[in-house]
Amino acid sequence: MASPSAQLTAASLSTSFVAVRNQTLALIAELSAEDTVVQSMPDVSPTKWHLAHVTWFFERFVLEPNLPDYSRFDEQFHYLFNSYYYTAGEMHARSKRGLLSRPTLQQILDYRSYVDTAIQQLLQTGAAEDLSQLVTLGMHHEQQHQELLLTDIKHVFSCNPLRPPVSELLQTKTTASLAAYSFSEGQSGLHAVGANGDGFAFDNETPRHNTLLHPHQIGNRLVSNAEYRNFIEDGGYQQSELWLSDGWATIKEQGWRRPLYWHKNLEREFTLGGDIDIDNNAPVCHVSYYEADAYARWAGARLPTEFEWESAASELAIDGNLLESNCWHPVASNGQQYFGDVWEWTSSSYAPYPGFTPLAGSLGEYNGKFMCNQMSVRGGSCVTPKKHIRASYRSFFYPDARWQFLGIRLAKDKRGS
């Protein structure tokens, strides 16, 4: 988490807390109560559950340890809205969250208000370093769920024959011309990676350490829809030699022949704004690691390692098509697009850094225990809050995941070095 020098004052922390909590409510402003209950697959959580879980996090890890006389809003919520913190208690099964028609949405909103009031009262007593760290962690946790809330409701609405938009207020972007796909020289030799201590970071971004980067080249931009369509039309999904064994088994079992949300005609796709024509120049998204890896082989390239990606992105400003752009879909750009639009698959397994130490207590379950069988992704997406992303940020997904905004950047080994 943040270093002591980066801690916020009690007043600024309170302001930031209110802003994050209000942003979550703004995301659901156009949803009905019925929308917030549906769970379309085990990986998707209902909107109502997200609203409650992030509130449970503040209650369990901020209020209870710091307010000895704190009284829980509802004892049953401790079981219903725990996610995976087994050291904090048992929890309702993830795959059955959509069965929770009760408590009602209004009860969940009342729960949020109750906890918000208690947090504000706590902050009025001052923001010691430990408390500031906990509240800051809680805000970043909620920002993670703001993104999940949108990707999850997108999947829910995609299963509805009406194909409704999540919002009627999204901004539309005109297409931009794209430079030809090319590769530039990446940094090589020993390179420092990981959080540099200048602000908040999750424990999985630490400790900062040197890693050896072999000579390589990295793509000048993200892979576009048109380029991925060429892969499909060239029989990419029928050429077993392009695929990892698990990937080939997965696409055969699942019947995948195109990115998630693309129509069969390869000309239309479902978005948070409803069905639209596919923009050929926009970054392809909602592809699994297996699909990204197969595309890279087809293109005569590979996926970058997460450290190659970080070395290229670390000197760039955090700017791009992020949540605040109010577009909520990848857009064409003549820039490099390291931040926003799509999370970029890397070839790196999600693993601990040398000397990694998880947070103490239950919060140590946040990241470390997932460091197995998942792949690292970098850069954030079109629904990632701007203040939540940075070059050292590591997220992670199983290689068959597609419901997140996941896309592709290419890399190549530099021959003869």
DSSP structure class, residue 315? T
pLDDT digits (tens, 9 = 90+) for 45-95: 999 999 999 999 999 999 999 998 999 999 999 999 999 999 999 999 999
Amino acid at 410: L
What percentage of the chain has pLDDT greater than the value 70? 97
In 3D, which of 346, 229, 236, 217 has the Cα closest to residue 283?
A: 229
- Identify the pLDDT of residue 185: 96
Location of structure tokens 């007043």: 11
Q: Which residues contact 285 (CB under 8 A, 6 or more apart)?
A: 259, 330, 341, 342, 381, 405, 406, 407
| 216 SS3 class | strand
Question: What CATH fold (topology level) applies to the domain 4-158?
Answer: Four Helix Bundle (Hemerythrin (Met), subunit A) (1.20.120)
Amino acid at 164: P
Q: The domain 183-413 is classified under which CATH number: 1.10.3720.10, 3.90.1580.10, 3.30.70.2860, 1.10.287.3510?
A: 3.90.1580.10
For the chain, the distance separating the N- and C-terminal CA atoms, rounded to the nearest angstrom, is 39
* Element containing residue 15 per DSSP (H, E): helix 10-27
Please report, to the nearest 10 degrees, the dihedral formed by the alpha carbons of residues 190, 193, 315, 2 taken in order.
Answer: -150
- Domain parsing of the chain, residue ranges: 4-158, 183-413
* Element containing residue 313 per DSSP (H, E): helix 306-313
The domains spanning 4-158 and 183-413 adopt the same CATH topology: no
Amino acid at 15: T
- Identify the pLDDT of residue 127: 67
Q: Report the residue count for the chain.
A: 417
Average pLDDT of the residues of the chain: 95
Asked if pLDDT for residue 1 goes beyond 80, the answer is no
Give mean pLDDT, residues 327-346. Answer: 96
Question: Please, where are the H alpha helices in 170-262?
Answer: 225-233, 245-254
pLDDT digits (tens, 9 = 90+) for 151-160: 999 999 999 9
pLDDT-derived band of residue 5, with 50, 70 and 90 as boundaries?
Answer: very low
pLDDT digits (tens, 9 = 90+) for 218-273: 999 999 999 999 999 999 999 999 999 999 999 999 999 999 999 999 999 999 99
